[in-house]
Amino acid sequence: MSQLTNNHMTQTSLKSRSLADWLSYLEHHHPIAIDLGLERIRAVAQRMQLDSLAMPVVTVAGTNGKGSTCRLIEQLLLADGHSVGVYSSPHLLDYRERVRINDNLVDSELFCQAFTEIEQARAEISLTYFEVGTLAALWLFRRFAPDFVVLEVGLGGRLDATNIIDANVAVVTTIALDHEKFLGNDLAQIGREKAGIFRSHGNAVTGDPQIQSSVYEVAKSLHCELLANGQNIHAELSPDSQTWRYLGKQVEYSQLPVPDLPLDNAVAALAAIEQLGVSLTQSQVRYCIENWQLAGRMQRLQDAPVVYIDVAHNPQSAQYLATQLRRHRWHDKSYAVCAMLADKDNSGVVRELDGLFDNWFIAGLYGERGDDGSKLAQALQGQPFERFEHVNQAYKHALAKAGAADRVIVFGSFVTVAEVLSARGGS
């Protein structure tokens, strides 16, 4: 990429940029990577007439479970014959993963066209990588005009770029400590921040039955039509825990398979569909839950030894990973391949997974938020582990150690999972 002498590209350079060029430019354009606030992005969105969408929008916030909830909402709407646009982040291997139209990726050329128009419209306004990506997604949704749009919040809620759009249904999945640098360590305040996607007299959903009371307080103050898991909607497991039943406000689905995503997230997705007024058949719901899958969420890559990848990166998501691992305990030995960012709760993640691995293969992650593995090594004192400089080295050694009847679990960060996928050629 040629060196830019100012913050604005020339007309000639705009037309010749590849997607890789654009992403390199956007990564270094704004002085800080995360700059919460709606004033700048809203101003540009208004110039581009992207501050509202013509179709119903579901916005999903939460510490964990946003991506999996968005994915099930998407699959349910598609199963009912609707066209759906989804904006989700971060991506694993390909930036285009961030926008799906009817479960398909968008051509690079269209992203470049969107970035070009955003660059021309922003003029003197500086935008972050995520803010430009959000505007590009909105531009693409306007172009393709799907029946429904699903937006995954990037960070927090109230001040997140996605919140320039008024959601027809606003979902909060879970509240836990993460990104404390930006959201603080007060769970009640974090709940209020995430509930900032709620709108006056709008439809809202909460997925976690134990969610912070501050979320309910925001919903009440805004007179939201709230479907709250554990209050006016419920999930009931069968006595043998093999099936479950969704009891909504107006609908009921029974004999559902136990999903490969957290049950509370499945409840939140079904509640969002109910709030949209979309009627689903029992068979549609059962099929979607049975066939739910999302890259990087207990994704099985191979057999003998079995290899799973999971983007669990904080104690709450590690707790669910532990639940999944205990459900599938037929393997002889279990090996962890783990690398985490410096600003994550390494000790909390290790604590949730205590006793589940015969050996840990840990590595460093590099970059602005990286750690060389020392925090993870400190958290693992007293447990068997081997330390490597790079994720790929840790992964190769774990595979070499594992027998055909063993399993290898790769987790700790989106970056960790992406590095292993990249080393395997994307599969």
Q: Which pair of tokens denotes residue 54?
A: 């013509």
Topology of domain 11-290, per CATH? UDP-N-acetylmuramoyl-L-alanine:D-glutamate ligase (3.40.1190)
Domain boundaries, the chain: 11-290, 299-423
CA distances from 69 to 58, 114, 169 (A): 11, 27, 13
Cα–Cα distance for residue pair 360/377, rounded to 1 Å: 10
pLDDT, position 1: 28
DSSP assignment of 357-426 equals: -SEEEEE-B-STT-B-SHHHHHHTTTS-EEEESSHHHHHHHHHHH--TT-EEEEES-HHHHHHHHHHTT-
Q: Name the more confident of 425 and 200.
A: 200
Q: Under the phi-then-psi rule, with left for phi > 0, alpha for psi from -120 to 50, and beta for the rest, what region is 323?
A: alpha
Mean pLDDT of 310-331: 90
pTM: 0.92
Summarised one tens digit per residue, pLDDT across range 359-407 is 999 999 988 788 899 999 999 999 999 999 999 999 999 999 999 999 9
Summarised one tens digit per residue, pLDDT across range 65-108 is 999 999 999 999 999 999 999 999 999 999 999 999 999 999 99
Summarised one tens digit per residue, pLDDT across range 223-278 is 999 999 999 999 999 999 899 999 999 999 999 999 989 999 999 999 999 999 99
Q: Is the pLDDT of residue 316 over 50?
A: yes
CATH number of 299-423: 3.40.50.2020, 3.90.190.20, 3.40.50.12780, 3.40.640.10?
A: 3.90.190.20
Neighbouring residues of 327: CB distance < 8 A, sequence distance ≥ 6: none
Give, as one character, the DSSP assignment of residue 301: E
Neighbouring residues of 155: CB distance < 8 A, sequence distance ≥ 6: 34, 36, 179, 182, 183
pLDDT, position 32: 73
Summarised one tens digit per residue, pLDDT across range 341-369 is 999 999 999 999 999 999 999 999 988 78
